[in-house]
Amino acid sequence: MSVLFILIIVSLTVAASFLLAFIWSVKNGQYEDDYTPSVRMLFDDELKSKINKKSNKH
């Protein structure tokens, strides 16, 4: 029975540490940019296209 209490305490400690890590990351701005990742693949790589145009001229 004592093992059950130890496992409950350990699991609550792990859950609390994950909650604190999540709150800390939100406060530090880890989740601020929610728009760019969803449309990043739609942006053109202008730098690569400029380099390719320069190399084709030679």
Task: Please choose, from the candidates 7, 36, 5, 12, the residue with its C-alpha nearest in 3D space to the C-alpha of residue 20.
Answer: 12
Please state, in angstroms and rounded to a whole number, the distance separating the CA atoms of residues 8 and 45: 51
Tens of pLDDT, residues 2-55: 999 999 999 999 999 999 999 999 999 888 877 776 777 777 766 665 666 666
Q: Where are the domains of the chain?
A: 2-57
pTM, entire model:
0.56
Asked if residues 42 and 48 have their Cβ atoms less than 8 Å apart, the reply is no
Tens of pLDDT, residues 43-56: 776 666 566 666 66
pLDDT of residue 53: 65
